[in-house]
């Protein structure tokens, strides 16, 4: 069954403690944490202190997505803050292999994130160093964007690339209860959902529908 990782970008930031409790009650598998520095993507969210605070409250794994320039400058702190999985964009790093090694050396799952215009083949050189590929269904920065249809084929390409390796494919951006049906047919392993969960009239039912 596909895993669902609701994005806190779409949550009520004035009540994050309760939102974390609700996500557990609703049946989410992970909590997606979008860390944006305003340089790599046009938004600013939060950093290490927030990850640390979320870790103290969350009963679910923290699925951290670093949309920051030079993640090697901060990776040690994101690791110690309590991240359970960490994905970053290789083009934003001067030392991507070193970053991956640091993440995995602490028993944390490491991923490579690929923007819609970045080909899947970019992940090929990292296959021996990653636990997952995070495909972006939209350009990073803001929640509520519409899914870019061309990304659907990247699920197929990613599954072909990883072949029999112990690597999973996650997709972030524009996920709905409608388009996730096709994503699952193509073998998607995990999906990040923001508005599809938090803006739903019945978030628990929405998560059930996303997983079904």
pLDDT digits (tens, 9 = 90+) for 87-138: 999 999 999 999 999 999 999 999 999 999 999 999 999 999 999 999 999 9
pLDDT at 142: 75
Confirm or deny that 17 is annotated as ligand binding.
Answer: no
Options 3.40.50.300, 3.20.20.70, 3.30.200.20, 3.10.180.10; which CATH number does 3-211 get? 3.20.20.70
User: Which of 29, 34, 63, 131 does the annotation list as catalytic?
Assistant: 34
- List the one residue out of 199, 196, 157, 154 whose CA is nearest residue 173: 196
Is 36:69 a contact under the CB 8 Å cutoff?
A: no
pLDDT band of 140, cuts 50, 70, 90: confident
Q: At 145, is the pLDDT very low, low, confident or very high (cuts 50, 70, 90)?
A: confident
Catalytic residue selected from 29, 131, 172, 189: 172
Annotated binding residue at 172?
Answer: yes
pTM over 0.95: yes
For this structure, is 172 an active site residue? yes
What is the rounded CA–CA span in Å between residue 79 and residue 106? 8
194 assigned ligand-binding residue: no
Q: At 31, which helix (H) or strand (E)?
A: strand 31-36
In contact, 182 and 196? CB cutoff 8 Å: no
Q: Please enumerate in sequence order all residues whose Cβ is within 8 A of that of 151, keeping only pairs 6 or more positions apart, or say none.
A: 116, 135, 136, 137, 171
Q: Is 142 annotated as a binding residue?
A: yes
For 102, other C-beta atoms within 10 Å of its C-beta total 19
Domain limits of the chain?
Answer: 3-211
In the three-class reduction of DSSP (H, G, I as helix; E, B as strand; rest coil), residue 155 is classed as helix
pLDDT tens sequence across 37-80: 999 999 999 999 999 999 999 999 999 999 999 999 999 999 99
156 flagged as catalytic: no
């Amino acid at each position: 069954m596909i895993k669902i990782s609701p994005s806190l970008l779409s949550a009520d930031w004035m009540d994050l403690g309760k939102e974390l409790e609700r996500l557990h009650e609703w049946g989410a598998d992970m909590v997606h944490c979008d860390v944006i520095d305003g340089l790599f993507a046009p938004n600013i969210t939060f950093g290490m202190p927030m990850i640390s605070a979320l870790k103290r409250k969350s009963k679910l794994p923290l699925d951290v997505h670093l949309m920051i320039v030079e993640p090697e400058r901060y990776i040690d702190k994101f690791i110690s803050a309590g991240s359970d999985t960490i994905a970053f964009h290789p083009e934003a790093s001067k030392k991507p292999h070193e970053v991956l090694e640091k993440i995995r050396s602490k028993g944390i799952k490491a991923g490579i994130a690929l923007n819609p215009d970045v080909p899947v083949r970019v992940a090929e050189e990292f296959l021996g160093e990653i636990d997952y590929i995070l495909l972006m269904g939209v350009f990073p920065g803001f929640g509520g964007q519409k899914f870019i249809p061309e990304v659907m084929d990247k699920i197929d390409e990613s599954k072909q690339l990883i072949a029999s390796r112990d690597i999973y494919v996650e997709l972030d951006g524009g996920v709905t209860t409608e388009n996730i049906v096709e994503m699952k047919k193509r073998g998607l392993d995990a999906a990040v959902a923001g508005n599809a969960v938090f803006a739903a009239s019945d978030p628990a039912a929405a998560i059930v529908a996303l997983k079904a």
